[in-house]
Structure 1
Amino acid sequence: MTANGRIRIIGGSLRNSRLEVPDLPGLRPTTDRVRETLFNWLQPVIGGARCLDLFAGTGALGIEALSRGAAMVTFVERDARLAAALRANLARLKVQAAVVGDDAVRWLKAGGKPADVVFMDPPFAGDLWGDAADALESHGWLAPSAWIYVEAPRTASSAVPPTWQVHRQGVAGEVAYTLYRRTPDVPLS
């Protein structure tokens, strides 16, 4: 994030667009370098993909996906100020997307249409990875071969469902990031 409360979209049709970002404690936007790496990994599958951006924060991951050809993104953010800023950024960029103002884990438990790509970057202060992963898997949110991106503290050990296999991973500072591929032929335990 830049000093003036903005981050930029780094690729696709919205490249170099700036997102206005509220200055809120605990907000930790995914860095340009990590986003570039992630979207290089996702490049073969992001076009036309149906995406979820859980714990959306600034919405940078989901907006980057839209910029690079995702068919749709649903953003889920419980903080009303962040959800409002996200709606304003989407309107300014003239991008259509759904913004849900709710707790991501609670919202996931209602069930929904399967996503091809999921971005999961919960607040590091909470321990929400396991609950969110379980809700994604058990409430019909994942396409059979979905891709799931997870950011977590470098020192965290997060259990994921056995159907999620590590595809790629990296570390940037204190953040560990992993792209999982759902493999439906692995039985759930």
Structure 2
Amino acid sequence: MKRQRSSRSSVRTSAARRGPSKPPGKLRIIGGDFRRRQLPVLDHPGLRPTPDRVRETLFNWLGQALYGKQVLDLFAGTGALGIESLSRGASQVIFVERDTHVAALIRDNLATLGASQGQVETADAQAFLARQGQPVDLVFLDPPFHQGLAAPCCTALEAGGWLASDAMIYLETEQSLTPTVPANWQLYRETQAGESIARLYQRVPA
């Protein structure tokens, strides 16, 4: 489910090296108001939406908990998780994606859907988390593999005021990593797919 990438993408090699571009991929929304809508995905190294099966499992875990919630989608990439949240009733989603081309497509897709509750920040996720945060109810944290980003991002979320008292945090990592998370995050669910393990944590007040 995960390949190494930066902000769900990696630095693009030159067009001359890549040769002819591939047809653009598609992101299919699997539930909610935008169900079955298909959105374009850039032909960009390492960029891919979270597979339908994993998204379906995650949003089954979350159930009806998304209505009216504030959501933060870090390393947003295609924006699949944040857009799915908007489709299912989230009141606001902030997408954080450092690649300007990838971030622009998220904006275009939000406009196509008429999803004005989505806000795209073109920024490095760690730099973004260094700001003073406004508490959110749900965080999607899907950093590039093998770059040691999971633990510092978890620490920054907890220390920077980004989390509501009962926030939920979705963390996706490589199988070989046992993530270090704040002591007051309780593991709620986990699943394995391909190269990755997806975990959903429930925060309790420290």
TM-score by length of 1: 0.94
- Residue of structure 2 aligned with 1:67, choices 83, 87, 90: 87
> Could you tell me how far 1:175 is from its partner in structure 2?
1.3
> Could you tell me how far 1:4 is from its partner in structure 2?
4.4
Name the CA distance, whole Å, in 1 between partners of 2:35 and 2:101: 25
Residues 26 and 123 of structure 1 are in contact (CA less than 8 Å); yes or no, is this contact kept in structure 2?
no
- Residue of structure 2 aligned with 1:102, choices 123, 132, 141: 123
The SS at the match of 2:63 is: helix
- Residue of structure 2 aligned with 1:120, choices 134, 141, 145: 141
Q: Which moved more, 1:16-25 or 1:53-62?
A: 16-25
Q: C-alpha deviations, 1:85-106, integer Å up to 9, x for none?
A: 1011001111111100000111
Name the CA distance, whole Å, in 2 between partners of 1:28 and 1:169: 21
The SS at the match of 2:45 is: coil
- Residue of structure 2 aligned with 1:140, choices 144, 161, 182: 161
Q: Which has the higher contact order (CA 8 A, sep 6+)?
A: 2
For 1:12, give the aligned amino acid: G
Q: C-alpha deviations, 1:98-135, integer Å up to 9, x for none?
A: 10000011111112210000001112242210111111
Residues 169 and 200 of structure 2 are in contact (CA less than 8 Å); yes or no, is this contact kept in structure 1?
yes
Moved over 3 A (4+): none
Q: Which moved more, 1:124-133 or 1:163-172?
A: 124-133
Identical positions, percent? 53
1:33 counterpart residue number: 53
Does residue 79 of structure 2 align to residue 81 of structure 1?
A: no
- Rate the CA distance shift 1:135–1:171 in 2: closer, same or farther, 3 A: same
1:156 counterpart residue number: 177
- Residue of structure 2 aligned with 1:175, choices 196, 200, 203: 196
Q: C-alpha deviations, 1:132-177, integer Å up to 9, x for none?
A: 1111000000000100001111111221111111000000111100
User: Any stretches of 5+ residues in structure 2 without a counterpart?
Assistant: 2-22
Name the CA distance, whole Å, in 1 between partners of 2:131 and 2:101: 24
Q: C-alpha deviations, 1:64-105, integer Å up to 9, x for none?
A: 000000111000000111101101100111111110000011
> Could you tell me how far 1:45 is from its partner in structure 2?
1.1
Q: Output the aligned Cα RMSD.
A: 1.4
Number of corresponding residues: 184
Does residue 31 of structure 2 align to residue 11 of structure 1?
A: yes
Does residue 147 of structure 2 align to residue 165 of structure 1?
A: no
